[in-house]
Amino acid sequence: MANKLAALLVSFAMLMAAAAGFYTPPSPSTCGLKVGYYHDKCPHAEAIVRGAVGAAILRDPGVGAGLIRMLFHDCFVEGCDASVLLDPTPANPQPEKLAPPNNPSLRGFEVIDAAKTAVEAACPGVVSCADIVAFAARDASFFLSNSRVSFDMPSGRLDGRYSNASRTLDFLPPPKFNLGQLVANFAAKGLSVEDMVVLAGSHTVGRSHCSSFVPDRLAVPSDIDPSFAATLRDQCPASPSSGNDPTVVQDVETPNKLDNQYYKNVLAHKALFTSDASLLTSPATMKMVLDNANIPGWWEDRFQKAMVKLAAVEVKTSGNGEVRRNCRAVNY
């Protein structure tokens, strides 16, 4: 309480000083990150990443969904430090990318490689893989939304040297989570209930394996719309296994478009996961779903801000990070 008041007073004082003309606010930043961090260090870095992401999405829009999800899976485990990109080595045979939440479903790794190769050719050793992941998620959002989601992504992250498969199970929420579990999971990373509701709107693009929803949504009674359930049963085996686990689109209405259709699907009980359906289980989150579904531009505006917040989770400092030369391996 006292802290909050002090912070309020300080920001009020800064506001007054700014109004009087003797305080210049720093350029927009979160946690030491800065918009345009590479402006002097590697002027074309962001354009190069955007080019690589745009080319990849032209070939396969699904990879754009993968890149948006990659930011989430990177940031929730060891912070936004590209730990999700590290390949197995004899010394570290089980990195994050081999864990069930990522393997085999997480995609887009080769787009990050292509962007890194191009950026290294322009400015060797300057641009971190963690920043490339953040730019790529931003750019995928831009392209898949037909530029309706368009925002600055602060940068200056460093890459971590630690990646442990079992940590993904501690931090990445499974699709069977209920609302209380989701709220706690996001709160542990400094994200609010509304951030969670707004970021879950990413499920307006991409695909899901049948195994992520059949056991707790189709095999047992659930609130899922009966005709929607029937179309899913046509596409999925009754008990998916690693050898027989097809994928379905998450948003049947506009599968490759990043828009607010997710919230309309949730309201119509045409969402895949228990976690999606759980957004209707409290009055507060129900209201957020309704606003995101019904007010034009509401979701896009909040999604941009929530992505910047997500991309600032537990960023590394020069004490515990580096700029990796190859995104798949720590520097030796």
Ligand X SMILES: *[C@@H]1O[C@H](CO)[C@@H](O)[C@H](O)[C@H]1NC(C)=O
- Binding at 167: pick from ligand X, ligand HEM, none (beta carbon under 5-8 Å per type): ligand X
* 181 belongs to the binding site for ligand X (CB under 6 A): no
Report 195-224 residues binding ligand HEM (CB under 6 A). Answer: 196, 199-200, 202-203, 205-209, 212
Residues with Cβ within 8 Å of residue 85, at least 6 apart in sequence: 74, 97, 109, 112, 129, 133, 327, 328
Residues 123-152: x/- map of binding to ligand HEM (CB under 6 A)? ------------------------------
- The answer to whether residue 171 forms part of the interface with ligand HEM (CB under 6 A) is no
Closest approach, Cβ 207 to ligand HEM, in A, equals 4
Does residue 164 belong to the site contacting ligand X (CB under 6 A)? yes
Min dist CB 164 to ligand X, Å, is: 4
Distance CA 319, CA 325 (A): 18
Residue nearest to ligand HEM (CB): 206
> Residue 73 catalytic?
yes
Check the annotation: does 83 bind a ligand: yes
Contact segment (CB under 6 A) with ligand X among 159-167, 172-180, 242-250, 303-311 equals 159-167
Interface with ligand X (CB under 6 A), residue total 3
- Angle at CA of residue 153, ends 150 and 159, nearest 5°: 145
**Do the annotations mark residue 251 as ligand-binding?**
yes
**Measured distance CA(304)–CA(290) in Å, rounded:** 18
| Residues with catalytic roles | 73
**Which residue ranges make up the site for ligand X (CB under 6 A)?**
164, 166-167
As annotated, the binding site for Ca(2+) includes 74, 77, 79, 81, 83, 96, 204, 251, 254, 259
